[in-house]
Structure 1
Amino acid sequence: MSSTMHVRKAIHFASLRAKLAQQGKAGLALRLLPAAALAGFLLVFAARTLLVSFPAAPTTSPSSSSFSTSQRQQDHQDTAECAKATGLPLPVMEALVHYTTSNVTPQQTADEIGVSLRVLQRRAPCNFLVFGLGHDSPMWAALNHGGRTVFLEEDASWIAAVRSTHPALESYHVAYDTVLTDADSLLQLRDHPACVAQPDLTAAAEASCRLALRGLPPVFRELEWDLIMVDAPTGWTPQAPGRMGAIYTAGMAARARRPGDGPTDVFVHDVDRPVEDAFSKAFLCEGYLAEQVGRIRHFVIPSHREKDGTPFCP
């Protein structure tokens, strides 16, 4: 790949940052703009060096797998050294390298990303829980540099693939026991006391609320989550798990937040689809809806532990 191509991609990435910065007040995005410009220059040199040093391994070679692993490890080490030399945080440098040397782009549009970015400008570094491990994951980790960004993913093989190229991302496998065809019956649980009587996910699970996710990693309960993004699991085929449980669980985590820590910002993507639309309104509550841009909704949910008897929805 030519250095010209790297320059084009670096300019494209910087343009995206500029557009996002215009959507909010000067803050995190503005601080990343000079970093993007600097990294654009550095990446022309760094990427060229990596490509010369590590040519693509033949697919028929029996050692291609180990070669690729070795190459990825070396790439990660080189990126870490470059971050140290320039003073840029490693997650930021890794995200810049990722987006300027690949053809993948975040699933959300620039305007949709801007909704979460404005909140991150105010709250980062913070505890950020993301349902889904995707092409935008390095970006979220970079934007929350200094905080804790955790990804929950349904596909164990995809976690392994992402870890091979982004070992610093913190991700966990989560199993879902729902399917999209159950959505209509699960929506009726909005009126079931076991699901909405108290802001306690464990109690809801013990009371057999089918929407309460089980088997979540310990970190889910160890941290108080400032931001939660629901952009998974899959939900576009009848037998896909759908996001019913993820949306419900995000809302319960927000309601169970420790008193005095403020509200939780919850984002749901793909609300143009029936399930995401209906379940976000029912279980995150239209009364808590702060903003919608394109296919993303932003809810601000207060702790229900601060005042006994707080209704499930305002």
Structure 2
Amino acid sequence: MINFGDTIALNKKAQFYYNQGNLKEAIAWCYEVIKYQPDFVEVYEILGSFLQLNGDINAAVRAYIKATEVLLDNGSVYSNLDRSLFDEYGSQIFQLINDNPGQMSFQEYAYITNVVGGKVPGNFLIFGVGKDSLLWLGVNRGGKTLFLEDDKDWLNQVKVGCENSIEAYLVEYGTRVYLWKSLLEEYSQGNDCLWMVLPEKVLFTKWDFILVDAPAGYSEEKPGRMKSIYMAAKLAMESGNTDIFIHDCDREVEDIYSDYFFDKGYLINQVHKLKHYSLKRY
């Protein structure tokens, strides 16, 4: 029986062959690792990248899907992915992660696609527009998908790229990341300083899904997601039956604000930097 340490060694051997430019042998060694350690999530991720480089997109999608399922093997209702969704959207997700390195991972995209795609059509609110806006429109086919964006130039650019097929509204945050502690302290003292002006259409719609992936929060001078996380919580509580996804929870603001405004009992899963909360009204 090969132990976990041996599996790590086999995985390194696959990486060695890749570094030598021998993709065929690298892929073969990944399958050797899987034979002995079928729940080793990293090898599926590596295999997916190797298969993609080798031009076998369908096999790469299957490898990434398996990586996601192993990652989610916690008994939750979302542990198994609907393969038919990825026959339709797998290649599009691959293109997104190629065009947007450092954004969502395949597993994060796959997870949201699986949850939303399994419940459509619905009302889907997204903080932030981007190259993935068309993906979300497709996944929520037949439902209402609405975007909120604070960067006018970026919004116009995305609209052109989407042939003006998206419904999006310009919003203002008026915050900076470095203010996150003082804003949270002020809020905890009874001042609703995190409320933001939103279109009535947003405030009076019952949302089935909310994704917080904006505004920018990667530096102290950027607006940060303090208000978008807070408003997502408020809208979800008003709606009563909502799945909420918050991205970039490896960062302090997203991690602390999501834990503050969503009870940990509502946390369903975390996939890489993505947290999934579910608020249900019984």
The question of a shared fold, defined as TM-score above 0.5 by the shorter chain, is answered with: yes
Match in the other structure for 1:276: 254
Answering whether residue 204 of structure 2 is matched by residue 222 of structure 1, we say yes
Q: Report the equivalent of 2:137.
A: 141
Deviation (angstroms), 1:12 = 6.5
1:104 aligns with 2:99: yes
Deviation at 1:285, TM superposition (A): 2.4
Higher alpha-carbon deviation: 174-183 or 107-116: 107-116
- Residue correspondences, number: 217
- Asked whether the 8 Å contact 1:180–1:241 carries over to 2, the reply is yes
Contact 1:178 1:242 in 2 (8 A): yes
Structure 1 counterpart of 2:223: 241
Change (3 A) 1:131 1:25: same
Distance 1:170 1:14, change over 3 A: farther
Aligned residue number for residue 84 of structure 2? 30
Superposition deviation, residue 278 in structure 1: 0.6
Match of 2:171 in 1: 174
Instruction: Tell me how large the CA RMSD over aligned residues is.
Output: 2.9
- Residues 122, 290 of structure 1: CA spacing in aligned structure 2 closer, same or farther, 3 A cutoff? same
Match of 2:118, SS? helix
Alpha carbons 2:149, 2:171 under 8 Å: kept: yes
Alignment of 1:187-226 (within 5 A): 187-189=184-186, 191-194=188-191, 209-214=192-197, 216-226=198-208
Could you say which residue in structure 1 is the equivalent of 2:157? 161
**SS where residue 128 of structure 1 aligns?**
strand
Report if aligned partners of 1:21, 1:30 keep a CA contact under 8 Å in 2: no
Greater relative contact order, per chain length (Cα 8 Å cut-off, separation 6+): 1
Distance in 2, matches of 1:26 and 1:116, equals 10
Secondary structure at the residue paired with 1:135?
Answer: coil
Distance 1:14 1:150, change over 3 A: farther
4+ residue segments displaced more than 6 Å: none
Q: Tell me the SS of whatever aligns to 1:290.
A: strand
Give the partner amino acid of 2:258: S
- Deviations along 1:109-162, one digit per CA (max 9) or x if unpaired, are 111223312311331111111111112211111111111111111111111111
2:242 and 2:104 map into 1 onto residues whose CA distance is: 21
The aligned amino acid for 1:288 is Y
Identity of aligned residues (%): 33
Structure 2 runs not aligned, ≥5 long: 1-51, 70-78
